[in-house]
Structure 1
Amino acid sequence: MGGVTISVKTKLGALVTVSVLITSGLALVAMRTGAELRYITIFAMITALLVTQFVAHSLTDQLDEMNAVARSVSHGDYTRRVRGTDRRDELGDLAATINRLADDLEAVDQHRKELVANVSHELRTPIAALRAVLENVVDGVSEADPETMRTALKQTERLGRLVETLLDLSRLDNGVVPLKARRFEVWPYLSGVLKEANLAAGRRGTSSGSGNHTRTDVHLHLDVSPPELTAYADAERLHQVMANLIDNAVKHSPPHGRVTVHARRGAGPESLDLEVVDEGPGIPEPERHKVFQRFNRGGVPAAHGPGSDGGTGLGLAIARWAVELHGGRIGVAESSRGCHIRVTLPGASQPRD
């Protein structure tokens, strides 16, 4: 239960009132008892100073602590926190705000460190493989035949996908990206996305980045109702969303599992409801609010079949960013089996051509 909120202004007002009342009372006592006014005045001043000192001490102590914590945060130490956030006044609010700021800065610093670690790890493997291929060609160990060049091309493609992911992350940090929305038919559009996912799985032996899984044992299924369903959205951004969701669903599918993409008409004009459902272990309820955070790789193992990897932990964060650019929503829906991701896009009230 929350206590009564007493502002600093109220406390200072009470201090002035108490001081005036003490002085007035002592002056009245002096007039009635015949005591010398100068003694009464001195006593009243001492009493008022003691009361003022007590109130000022309670105010300035926490201000000093806030100053020390803010100085530590400015020097990169995000471990210190201000005590006394249970105060029911402006200083308590300020202490809570400083602590939230320190929490946010600590999270940003942790994300920065994780970004460096993840990017370093993701870059190291394709660069080392590409270097080995080229060194073998230069040293005459292997010929620059089409097969060798295809191996080198796979690694350069992997590097390209990682760079594209980092560019998406940069766009996410820099704010709103203009949407190039258009009207399109949902069935052929999503059919193309699934076909690309299958082709990517068939021709790539390694992957890093969005929408490039390597599981060939997982069956992809499309369910659009009605078949003539149309939507209004940025096709490129929506492709990012679906490619990442399908990639994530495939990685967490059991051997010979099934991933289904459902598309339905939404509540608004040309709005769209999308669902990606897999048969994997699902996402534990305590982890559901974290799955769209950067660098989060989920509370379930990602490798359920050949070729699976944990990824960079950026795919679902980029998917959420793209959905929110549309003014839509994305989240984990309740399901009795597997993982069920739901996307809602608002569409637009556009006249038909």
Structure 2
Amino acid sequence: MRIQNKLFAIFFVTSVVLVTAQVLVMQWSIGKGMIDYVNKKELDALDSLVISLQELYHEKGSWELLNSDHFYFKNLVDKHIHSDDSAIFVPPRGDRPSFGERRPPGMRPGGSRPNSFSERFDFDRPPPHAVTYALLDPNKELVAGIYRKQSEFGYLDIVVNDKVVGYLAVSRHNELTAGYELSFVEQQQMYVLLIALGLIIIAILVALPLAKHFVDPIKILTTSMSKLTSGQYEQRINLKRKDEFAQLTRDFNELAVTLEQNEEARKRWLADISHELRTPVAVLKGEMESMIDGVRPLSMERIQSSLEEINQLEQLLNDLHELTRSDLGTMHYRKSWVELLPIIEEVSNQFETVLSDKGIKVELIPQHTSIPVYADVTRLKQLFSNLLSNVAKYAVDGDLLKITMKLLENGGSKEAQIFFEDNGQGVDEHDLPQLFEHLFRVENSRNRKTGGSGLGLSICKKIVEAHHGKITAFSSEVGGLGIKIILPLE
């Protein structure tokens, strides 16, 4: 089942359930409200009867006159009920005298009297849905009329001389069976049903576009993701929304940009590797063919030149192997707490001769003599060796290498900062961020004639990142290239 259909079904079913529940509650409320209204109306209509009963009690001083005289009480009730639609405890209407007729109690319509009291009234079985009336004493015991305690009654107090001398009990309606009240309720229920039908139609009209509103972005994302998986990394989504889909769109676009950049980097990487491998092989092949063809004489100088090309090719392959191991996570690090200054001093001493031959003087400035770091000693030596080798190859126009060590606190945590700054010809500002990319060389100085593979700084970056640090390039204050290394100490 499609998501749009599921959403529509959820919205529609929820709306139908809510409307149905509302209709049922409204119908129950209308019916109960009308029943309460009818019951109250009947009680209000008996105020005159209550007054007559008060006068009768005041005159006689007791209920002895009405005691068990149901006919007298019945006639008294008939006299005060002005609506013939109000059912009482008497038999059905055809056998009941009208309110204006003066018929002696107990007489048949033809003027004859019934043979017995029970022949005229069956007080145990009043007509269905009939309203029954009863006169009760102060203890709510029956004086006259029909009164079954299991039924629901409404009570009107009969007060004489500020004393309750009895109650007029009127049975309550539990449902409507006839009359304009029932017609009104049925009419209102019909209106409610029509309103419910209209609400369901509105729910359908709202649910369809609402489901489409949620599903359309998903369709766009699905289509774009399908193209992205097939290699079309130029895909971009522009959804002008302010919900979670907007964030998902931004993440998708960032993913597309990252994949596109990675694809371009991969292609450039393959092209650069091919070029780097092809060049020394081509030079070496040319040297060999020229000597075999007799164009150039076989000599130690030619052999030495070929060996240099082989050494350069070997260095390139070794650097590629190091980078590959780092990317695959197979470059092992055996870390321990070591002092940073002795490691830098040892590597600097190793390169002292090489740098002196280039006319470069090393100036080591340790602002703190004790800077313990948790690191792999071998990898740190490889890091500093690559940086010093980089200076020896490319800072040929300079005569100074300044190495500065600092211990700083940054946001409550300590870090070691090491600066390598030369006063050579330096690097243009726009090339600085690319120095740590694979096989990158600055055109005007860092070309392959210097003997570098273009991977040394990339390896440095991998080593620093493996120690949870950061390495950046900047323009040195002494005039050349500066390299800044940050290593956390905690």
Normalised by the size of structure 1, how large is the TM-score? 0.71
Aligned pair partner of 2:457 in 311, 316, 321: 316
What SS class does the counterpart of residue 362 from structure 2 fall into? strand
Shift of residue 258, structure 1, vs aligned partner:
3.3
Q: Do 1:186 and 1:229's aligned partners in 2 also have CA atoms closer than 8 Å?
A: no
Q: Do 1:26 and 1:44's aligned partners in 2 also have CA atoms closer than 8 Å?
A: no
CA distance in 1, matches of 2:447, 2:489: 37
Question: Could you tell me which residue of structure 1 aligns to residue 380 of structure 2?
Answer: 238
Question: Could you tell me which residue of structure 2 aligns to residue 119 of structure 1?
Answer: 273
Q: Does 1:108 align with 2:262?
A: yes
Write the letter of the residue equivalent to 2:264.
Q
Residues 110-132 of structure 1 deviation map (CA, whole Å, 9 limit, x = unaligned): 11101111011111211011001
Shift of residue 47, structure 1, vs aligned partner:
1.1
Q: Which has the higher contact order (CA 8 A, sep 6+)?
A: 1
Q: Do 1:22 and 1:44's aligned partners in 2 also have CA atoms closer than 8 Å?
A: no
Would the alpha carbon gap of residues 136 and 173 (structure 1) be closer, same or farther in structure 2, given more than 3 Å must change? same
Please list, as runs of the form range in 1=range in 2, the aligned pairs for 1:80-119 lying within 5 A after superposition: 80-84=235-239, 87-119=241-273
CA distance in 2, matches of 1:319, 1:108: 21
Write the letter of the residue equivalent to 1:322.
I
Larger Rg: 2
Write the letter of the residue equivalent to 2:272.
N
Range moving further from structure 2, 29-38 or 180-189 = 29-38
Residues 177-207 of structure 1 deviation map (CA, whole Å, 9 limit, x = unaligned): 32245757235422245347549xx7xxxxx
CA distance in 2, matches of 1:102, 1:20: 43
Runs of 5+ in structure 1 lacking a partner? Answer: 1-10, 203-215, 349-353
Runs of 5+ in structure 2 lacking a partner? Answer: 1-6, 31-184
Would the alpha carbon gap of residues 35 and 315 (structure 1) be closer, same or farther in structure 2, given more than 3 Å must change? farther
Write the letter of the residue equivalent to 2:420.
V
Q: Do 1:333 and 1:341's aligned partners in 2 also have CA atoms closer than 8 Å?
A: yes
Q: Do 1:221 and 1:260's aligned partners in 2 also have CA atoms closer than 8 Å?
A: yes
Q: Does 1:45 align with 2:187?
A: no
Question: Could you tell me which residue of structure 1 aligns to residue 309 of structure 2?
Answer: 155
Aligned pair partner of 1:222 in 363, 369, 387: 363
Question: Could you tell me which residue of structure 1 aligns to residue 319 of structure 2?
Answer: 165
Q: Do 1:278 and 1:340's aligned partners in 2 also have CA atoms closer than 8 Å?
A: yes
CA distance in 1, matches of 2:468, 2:193: 73
Q: Do 2:363 and 2:403's aligned partners in 1 also have CA atoms closer than 8 Å?
A: yes
CA distance in 1, matches of 2:220, 2:417: 51
Residues 89-147 of structure 1 deviation map (CA, whole Å, 9 limit, x = unaligned): 33223222222222222122111101111011111211011001111232233344321
Question: Could you tell me which residue of structure 1 aligns to residue 348 of structure 2?
Answer: 191
Aligned pair partner of 1:73 in 210, 213, 228: 228
Question: Could you tell me which residue of structure 2 aligns to residue 264 of structure 1?
Answer: 405
Question: Could you tell me which residue of structure 1 aligns to residue 284 of structure 2?
Answer: 130
Q: Do 1:187 and 1:227's aligned partners in 2 also have CA atoms closer than 8 Å?
A: no
Write the letter of the residue equivalent to 1:50.
L
Shift of residue 156, structure 1, vs aligned partner:
0.4
Shift of residue 56, structure 1, vs aligned partner:
1.3
Aligned pair partner of 1:326 in 459, 467, 472: 467
Residues 135-168 of structure 1 deviation map (CA, whole Å, 9 limit, x = unaligned): 1232233344321111110110111111112112
The Cα RMSD (Å) is: 4.2
Q: Do 1:197 and 1:243's aligned partners in 2 also have CA atoms closer than 8 Å?
A: no
Residues 250-286 of structure 1 deviation map (CA, whole Å, 9 limit, x = unaligned): 6664x63234141436359x985421112334552x6
Would the alpha carbon gap of residues 25 and 272 (structure 1) be closer, same or farther in structure 2, given more than 3 Å must change? closer
Would the alpha carbon gap of residues 97 and 256 (structure 1) be closer, same or farther in structure 2, given more than 3 Å must change? closer
Please list, as runs of the form range in 1=range in 2, the aligned pairs for 1:203-214 lying within 5 A after superposition: none
Question: Could you tell me which residue of structure 2 aligns to residue 344 of structure 1?
Answer: 486
CA distance in 1, matches of 2:307, 2:353: 18
Aligned pair partner of 1:277 in 410, 417, 421: 421
CA distance in 2, matches of 1:112, 1:251: 27
Write the letter of the residue equivalent to 1:83.
N
Shift of residue 77, structure 1, vs aligned partner:
0.7
Q: Do 1:186 and 1:231's aligned partners in 2 also have CA atoms closer than 8 Å?
A: no
CA distance in 1, matches of 2:485, 2:20: 70
What SS class does the counterpart of residue 78 from structure 1 fall into? coil
Would the alpha carbon gap of residues 251 and 187 (structure 1) be closer, same or farther in structure 2, given more than 3 Å must change? closer
Shift of residue 220, structure 1, vs aligned partner:
4.4
Q: Do 1:277 and 1:341's aligned partners in 2 also have CA atoms closer than 8 Å?
A: yes
Shift of residue 344, structure 1, vs aligned partner:
3.0
Write the letter of the residue equivalent to 1:88.
K
CA distance in 2, matches of 1:305, 1:54: 62
Equivalenced residues, count? 314
What SS class does the counterpart of residue 259 from structure 2 fall into? helix
CA distance in 2, matches of 1:271, 1:38: 76
Range moving further from structure 2, 231-240 or 127-136 = 231-240
CA distance in 1, matches of 2:18, 2:431: 60
Would the alpha carbon gap of residues 290 and 155 (structure 1) be closer, same or farther in structure 2, given more than 3 Å must change? closer
Write the letter of the residue equivalent to 2:436.
F
